[in-house]
Structure formats: structure tokens, C-alpha cells
Amino acid sequence: MVKALAPGQLRWTVNDASLDIAALEKHKDDLTGKPGALGQERALAALELGLGIRQRGYNIFVVGASGTGRTSTLRTVLDEQARTDPVPDDVILVYNFEDRDRPHTLCVPPGEGPGIRRRYETLVEKMIAELEKAFESETFLSQRQDLERAHDERADENLQDIEAEAKAAGFLLTRAQGSLSLGVADAAGNPMGEEEYEQLTAEQKQAYEEAAEGLQGGLEDALRKIRVVERETDEELEALSRATAAEAIDPLFAEAESDLSAHPALVDHLARAKADVLDRLRRLVPSDVPEQEQDGPERATTHQRRLIEEELDLGHDEPALLRYRVNVLVTRDKDGGAPVVVETHPTASKLIGRIVHKTRGGEATTDHTRIKAGALFFANGGYLILQAQDLFREPTAWEGLKRALKNHSLELDDPGEPGRMLTMENLRPEPLPLAVKVCLIGTPDLYYALARTDPDFNKLFKVKVDFDLEMDRSPERVGNYLRFLVGLAHEEGLLPLDTSGAGRLIEHAARVSQNRGRLTTRFGWIADLVREASFFAKKAGAERITRAHVKTALDARAEREGFLELRMHEDIADNRVRIDTAGEVVGQANGLTVIDLGSYQFGTPARITCRVGAGKGELVDIERETELGGPIHTKGTMILRGILLDRFGQEGPLKLSASVCIEQSYSDIDGDSASLAECCALFSALADVPLAQKYAMTGSIDQRGQVQAVGGVNEKIEGFFRATSQRDEKGPYGVLIPVSNLQDLMLDEEVVAAADDGRFSVHAVATLEEALEHLTGMPWETLRERAAHTLERFADITRERGDGDRRAPRSGGRPQVAAKSDQEPRSQS
């Protein structure tokens, strides 16, 4: 018999006296509810490497489970690093006078972008006012009138000859809108009316028509001369306007160029802008000033208002003042260090940027002021944090990010939306050099999938930062854990912890890690438990969170999420699912399984049976035959054949047929932790010796019969304890576990109390022989002799039937077997 473990071996407990909460609470304002990099020294070393190397491709992929503090730790480290990094430049867009579809992308010192935009706006405002004033000045109007008068005089000179000829022929010469026309004159020299003309004789009308034809050549010659005069006058007027405008705006642009002299690209842009203003005076300045229009500032205000309205009116091809606007894509705080940007919704437009279009009358237009920067623009010169899972939901975003990192440049382009029917005006700003450290956060599965399938991934993300799920339970780390718990309670306004409550939380951290020598680093889970315990403590009117409140919170969580567990245990209690816990049965053992529902795990017993008979060495796993068993369960069952060969195969061929079944199992199962129970049931059937049903067991087994560690050992033991606690029998009951799982025991206090009272026991076994001796109360040698005798009897039966096979079994034979899971959910039909 294997001796039961002492109650002290079933659970590690914290010595409350070792937790000096009072000392920590004296400095609670210095504590934080964020665990930081507690237990993540390896991750910090990798992060330091990734941040220290600035060469291409050394971007970072943070690997870890949710709740390990990976995001908060990364943010904290990046914030500290960014404070010492130089502040990157502001990014602005200005109009390209050579190619309007290719705006200039300019970098200016941090914080100066908005000032440059205001400087341009001031320049434009003053420019319009000065142009209004200059073109309404007496000097300009007088000069323009002189030119117009000279034009009229030259035109009159060119018409004198033809006008005299027309008058002599009885015509009047009329000039209107660039054309000349002849009209018949009456006796008084006035235009002849239509009625009077109709009273003329046919001969008189004929004479007038012939005279008009004779004057036609002179009229055309005079009109050509007038047009030459008009063209020359227009050129003179344009030259006058340019000279007047230049005189008005030269001081303004000179002042602006002086203010922006530190930016040669902007000085050059201002020079081109001034030339563009002089080329577009007719658009910027009213060509005709009605006499009745008000003078002075009111007139200038009217024209400026018209130009502003034009800025908002898409009826024009391009607003008049648009070319002289500055779009500040990104601006920085000059004392703020490098940027740390977290993009929570990394679509292509939010990551790279977007170009906003305005649609009117079915036509979509845009301009350089409607370009919006994405997260890469804001993070350029600093750090960008992205959740990998969110990023890969948008394939275009991932491809855009890779393209930017590979080219070391940011180029904003609008590829259009799928299904877009309209052809939209597109802009392509000049590319911007990219220097950003991208940090992706994801799960291990996603990281390894990308490493295998995406050829660019390993080139672009060379640094893997792995956040561990657990850490060693050293006194120093227990102290740090306590600092985290006290800081969390203070920071979030929860009730303070007493030593027993803090100790119970730390014990639960060891339980979650499934190793009493380690503590979980999934601090999010522990923080949730503190919040829930604080709720129940307040509800009870307590001043501090105690061990009892933590236990209440854990029980409440099990109550909320343990619906399936409750129903399965009710089925066992009502014998709808049969689990024998009394007496002895040949070829039947109680196995233990774990059901993982994601946020909640629980254990439950499973009845395993085995039947044997004469045959040809077949070992049938009913789970596999019905396609319910997974590959790991199949492997565990196949190992049973190896054990049989090891124990009895040296004496001759095995002439048996055996079937193994997990009874009342109706869904997929996997895992090999039932192989110990299956092997015990098999040997019990061969030896025809019953197994005590008050015991359940878990453990995998190798071909030499050595028992190996399994997962979920605490949940399995507690599952059998709860199943038996609903029975009328008083017990005692027990569980057999592998010796290698002793370090994992962190059983519920209720189980430990039952063990202390003798109502429940846990036994650790190292070999199949120890387990069988404990379950049968019979020495192994006796069991082996009985099993060997059964095999000899099966061999005799096969010889009598004439279907014996005296050859040794082939080592490559593959029996039909299947498998069982401790990790996949199992439902009962």
C-alpha cells in the first residue's frame, strides 16, 4: 500500500506573519497597481536589445498571454525611453505649383508647424487687403483710365477714314462689343427707322446695299486695327496690374521670407507663391469696381468674404486661396520627447493615412489640405504599438505596414474602396522618410504562424520579447507581489488587504501557475480577484479584505461559471452518469479528466472499463473506433500494448483480444492522462482481480510502466472529491497521482480539511506496480502470475481452435487504439 500524503503536502500556505503590509501602507502613495516587469527579466533583456539597435528590421514582437502585463510593461519601458530620445520634426504639406497632384512634404522643427500655418494665413489675409487697396487707389485708377483713354483715341483714329466714307454714302457707323456695323441715315443725319426705310423705292434700297458692300472691306480693315489696339492695351493693363500688385505684395512676401529664412524650402515655396499670385490676379482681384460700391475697408471686406465663400464652394475648379494654405499633418511638443503611439483600430487608413474627398453633383474632388495623417506619421521618429490580432484582421493594413518598413518611407496613396463606382481625383504627397520602432503584441501561436508563413516577417521583426506565464516563488518576488496587491487596492480605491487576505491571494497565484514553487504572472486575473474580494468585503461591512473574502470571491466565480460542472456532478449523484465509488470491480477503474471552458476549468471522474478474451493480440480502443479519441489519447492507449510486451511478451506471443472504453463519453476527448487507469483496468481483467472503486487515478504511463506527470492535477482531485462528497457512503475516498506532480498540489482548503479528518486521501505512485498493489491489496508478483496464467489459457484456446500463430509478433504491428483529452471540453448527451 502507498502511504497517504500528509495534509501539509496537499497545499502550500503563506506565513501571514511574513507579510509586512503595515510597512507598505505607510508609503502607499509611492506604490502602483501596475505590476510592471515583475518576473519578466528575460523579456526586459530582449526589449532592451530591440530598443537599443536602430538598424533596419529590429522591430519588436511581444509574445505573451493576456493578463501578463505585456502591454502595460511595454508602454512603461517605451515612455521611459522616449523621454530621452530627440523630438522628431513636424510634418507639413504645401501646394506644388508644378504638379498640383503631388503636394510637397516638408519637415520643420518640432512645434513650428502651426506657427508656419498661421504665418501663411496672415500673409494671405494681408495680401488680399493690400491688393484691394492697391487696385482701388487713385494712382492705379488714373493710370488705368489713361490707358483706356489712349485706347479709345487710337481706336477713333483708326475709324475716322471709314466713318467719313460711310457718312458720305449716307450711313452711320456704330461700334459695339468689338464689332462695327453700318446703319442708313435719314435726312437729319439720324438712324433711319424701319418704317421709313420700307418707304424707300427699290432703286434706293439697291443703291444703299451696293454702297454698303463697297464699304465692307474698309470696315474689316478698321476692325483689325482696333483689335490690335485692344490687345496692346490689354497687355499694357496687365503690366500695370502686375507692377501695381508687385509693389503691393513685395514687402509682405519679403517679410514672410525673412521670418521663415531658417527653412529654405519654405522660402523657395514663397517665391513660387508670389509668382503664382501675379499670374492669377484676375482670380484674386475684382476686374471691375462698380462706382456705386462702397469705398474703403467695407469694399475690401466684401471681396475677402467672396474669396472665403469660394474656399467652401466646390463649384469652382479650385478655391482661389487654396494654393497658399498649409496643412499641418503632424505637430510635436518640442519638450515632449519621442512619440509613443498606441493604435487600437489599425485599419489601412488609420495606420497610413487617408485623403478626404468632397462630392457635389456627382463629382468628387480633394486638395492637399484634406489629407489626414495616420498612426505611422504620428509615430515617426518614435514608437508605434499595435495589437497583432487587430492588425491582421485588415490585410491591407498589414501589407501597407510591411511596405513602409521595407522601403523606410511613408507614401500616402488612396487606392480606392472596393466597389467604388466613381473615379475620384487623387493626390500622392511626396514620400516621407520613415524611422519608427514598431512593437506588435500577440500570442505565441500567431507569432510562430507568421514566422512560418510570411517571408517578410522575420526580416522586419527580428526581436522576440517573450513574456512568461509564471515566475519563481522567491521571498523577494513574494514581497514584490505584495507591493503590487497593496498598490492596486490603494490606486483603485478598494478596501485595504489584511495579511490573511494578501496571503490567500498569493496562494491563489501559485495555484494558477499549477506549481507551488512558482507564481503566475497573469496579474490581470489576480487583480480581478482583488476587486471581487473587495466587493464582498464591503458587502459584509468589513474594513479590510480577509482570507474569507477572497474565498467568497472564488466560490462566487465558480458559482457563476460552473453551471456545466454543477450539472455533471448532479448527473453523477443521480446515477445518470455511473461512477462506482464503493466495493471492488474486475476490469474497472475511475479515471480523472479536466474540462477547460476557457475562463473556467474543473475536473470530473470517468468510468474506464476493460474486457479481455482469447484472440490474436488485438487491443481495441472504443474511443478511437468511434472517432471520439484524439491522437494523444491514441498514443496513450497504444502504450498499453508496449507494457504487455514488456511484462509478458518475452515468453511467447500474446493471444488475447482486449477492448478499453471510457464509459458514457459522448464527445471528443484527447490527452494521455487516463493511460494509468486504462492499464490498471487491463491488468485487473487479465489477473481477474478486482480494483477498489473508492479510488480514482490520473497519470500517463510509459512502456516500462513508469507513471508520468499530467496537467490539471488539482482540478482532477477536487472533481473526484466533490463527486464523492454527494454520495451516501462515508468513504474514505482517495486519489492516486504521479509522484512527479507532488510539486503541483495546491488543493482547496475543503479537500485539505477532509484529508486531515481521514475522509479523503491523496497517494503518489511512481510505477504501475505501486498503483496495482494499492488498488488490489495484492503483491505485484501474485498479480503477474495470475495475468500470465490467463494469457497461457488464451493461448491454449487459440491452439485448440486451430488459429494459433506460433510466430513472435511483429514489432511494427499497429493495434487500433484511440485517445483522451484533459484539455478539450467534454459534454454529456
Residues serving a catalytic function are 673, 716
Sequence-ordered alpha helix ranges (H) in 61-193: 70-84, 113-135, 138-168
Signed CA dihedral, 334, 339, 345, 348: sign only: positive
Residue owning grid cell 476557457:
598
Residue owning grid cell 507614401:
411
Residue 657, beta-bridge partner list? 613, 618
Spatial CA neighbour of 347 closest among 378, 391, 311: 391
Tell me if 814 sits within 8 A of 728, measured CB to CB.
no
Q: Which long-range contacts (CB under 8 A, 24 or more apart) does 246-252 make?
A: 246/278, 247/134, 248/130, 248/131, 248/133, 248/134, 249/127, 249/130, 249/131, 249/274, 249/277, 250/274, 252/123, 252/126, 252/127, 252/130
Other residues' Cβ atoms within 10 Å of the Cβ of residue 659:
17
Tell me if 697 sits within 8 A of 591, measured CB to CB.
yes
**What's the gap between Cα 433 and its chain centre?**
24
Residue type, 790: T
Q: Rounded CA gap, 246 and 351, in Å?
A: 44
The dihedral formed by the CA atoms of 679, 683, 686 and 688, expressed in degrees to the nearest 10 = -130
- Structure-block grid coordinates of residue 769: 506496480
DSSP 165-215: HHHHTTEEEEEETTEEEEEEB-TTSSBPPHHHHHTS-HHHHHHHHHHHHHH
- 365 phi/psi in degrees, rounded to 5: -130, 165
Q: Rounded CA gap, 95 and 106, in Å?
A: 11
DSSP code of residue 346: -
Q: Environment class of residue 563 by beta-carbon count within 10 Å: exposed (0-12), middle (13-18) or buried (19+)?
A: exposed
- Structure-block grid coordinates of residue 720: 473526484
Q: Environment class of residue 623 by beta-carbon count within 10 Å: exposed (0-12), middle (13-18) or buried (19+)?
A: buried
Please report which helix (H) or strand (E) contains residue 441, including its range.
strand 437-442
Other residues' Cβ atoms within 10 Å of the Cβ of residue 96:
19
Other residues' Cβ atoms within 10 Å of the Cβ of residue 718:
20
Tell me if 406 sits within 8 A of 455, measured CB to CB.
no
Tell me the residue length of the chain.
829
Q: Rounded CA gap, 447 and 803, in Å?
A: 56
Local structure of 545: helix, strand or coil: strand
Q: Environment class of residue 30 by beta-carbon count within 10 Å: exposed (0-12), middle (13-18) or buried (19+)?
A: exposed
Cis peptide before 732 (omega within 30 of 0): yes
220-230 CB burial, b ≥16 within 10 A, e <16: eebbebbeebe
Residue 595, beta-bridge partner list? 602
Signed CA dihedral, 69, 72, 78, 80: sign only: negative
Residue owning grid cell 446703319:
183
Residue type, 737: I
